[in-house]
């Protein structure tokens, strides 16, 4: 099975790089930067969106100014990992706005979640009133973040290597 990534040429990759850096980039400026006509650039962006390479566009907000600058990572161990428990847990997590990321992991715990809130006091409330109410919770370990060194959603792109 070949990767969809192999269908991208250098212009597609450059478009993705530019849009990652600035999602508000006008089509005219994008076309200029990749040496295409505006019509051709728009067609490429539409194709990249249709094929699922571009998932959407959103504004990056400043969590500190919006009273959500406190970050805690929490490891979660479930009492069982049966399909029903995993599904119930996953469905419940999707309903909690303070949980901004949730990843199923392998190792000593089943999930790691990233929580954004105002401060430690608010996290204590979330921990007791929300996290411990999730289905299947057996154990948690919390790691409050002291300082964010790097945080990015950008994906490093490189030219796709095609088989000869």
pLDDT tens digit sequence for 51-63: 999 999 999 999 9
Shared-domain flag, residues 76 and 131 = yes
* Mean pLDDT, rounded, for 114-127: 97
Reported confidence tier of residue 7, pLDDT bands at 50, 70, 90:
confident
Residue 88 has pLDDT above 60, yes or no: yes
The upper half-sphere exposure of residue 115, i.e. CA atoms within 13 Å in the direction of its Cβ, equals 27
The count of C-alpha atoms lying within 13 angstroms of the C-alpha of 35, restricted to the half-sphere facing its C-beta, is 2
Number of domains in the chain: 2
The model's pLDDT over 153-162, given as tens digits with 9 standing for 90+, comes to: 899 998 765 5
- Residues 56 and 79: their CA atoms lie apart, in Å, by 36
Strands in 3-148 per DSSP E: 70-78, 99-104, 111-117, 137-144
Q: Is residue 82 domain-shared with residue 127, that is, in the same domain? A: yes
Residue 84 tokens read as 């029903």
- pLDDT score, position 164: 44
Same-domain pairing of 31 and 89: no
CA dihedral 26, 155, 47, 44 (to 10 degrees): 50
CATH number at residue 14: 1.10.10.10
The answer to whether residue 158 sits within a structural domain is no
Average pLDDT, the chain: 93
Same domain membership, residue 131 and residue 74: yes
Say what percent of the chain tops pLDDT 70.
95
In a domain, 100, yes or no: yes
Query: Is 8 domain-assigned?
Result: yes
- For 30-56, write each residue's pLDDT tens digit: 999 999 999 999 999 999 999 999 999
Checking phi first, is residue 116 left (phi over 0); if not, alpha (psi -120 to 50) or beta? Answer: beta
Q: What is the pLDDT of residue 6?
A: 72
Question: Is residue 77 located within the same domain as residue 39?
Answer: no
36 lies in some domain: yes
Range 100-128 average pLDDT: 96
Count other Cβ atoms within 10 Å, centred on residue 36: 18
Q: Is residue 60 part of a domain?
A: no
In a domain, 55, yes or no: no
CA distance 162 to 33: 25
User: Residue 115 and residue 128: Cα distance in Å, rounded?
Assistant: 14
Tell me the per-residue pLDDT of 129-138, one tens digit each, with 9 for 90 and over: 999 999 999 9
Residue 64 is given by DSSP the state T
Question: Could you tell me the CATH number of the domain that includes residue 101?
Answer: 3.30.70.920
In this structure, is residue 64 part of a structural domain? Answer: no
Read off the tokens for 11: 């212009």
Residue 129 CB-density burial (10 A; 0-12 exposed, 13-18 middle, 19+ buried): exposed
Structural domain boundaries, residue 19: 4-50
Q: Has residue 115 been placed in a domain?
A: yes
Q: What is the pLDDT of residues 141-151, one digit of tens each?
A: 999 999 999 99
């Amino acid at each position: 099975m070949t990767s969809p990534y192999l269908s991208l040429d250098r212009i597609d990759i450059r478009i993705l790089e530019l849009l990652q850096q600035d999602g508000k980039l006008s089509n005219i400026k994008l076309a200029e930067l990749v040496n295409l006509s505006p019509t051709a650039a728009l067609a490429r962006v539409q194709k990249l969106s249709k094929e699922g390479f571009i998932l959407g566009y959103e504004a990056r907000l400043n969590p500190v100014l919006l009273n959500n600058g406190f970050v805690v990572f929490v490891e979660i161990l479930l009492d069982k990992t049966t399909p029903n428990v995993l599904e119930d847990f996953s469905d419940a997590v999707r309903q909690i706005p303070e949980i901004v990321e949730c990843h199923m992991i392998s190792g000593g715990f089943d999930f790691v979640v990233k929580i954004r809130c105002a401060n430690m006091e608010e996290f204590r409330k979330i921990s007791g009133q929300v996290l411990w109410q999730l289905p299947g919770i057996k154990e948690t370990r919390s790691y409050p973040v002291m300082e964010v060194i790097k945080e990015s959603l950008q994906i490093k792109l490189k030219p796709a290597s095609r088989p000869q």
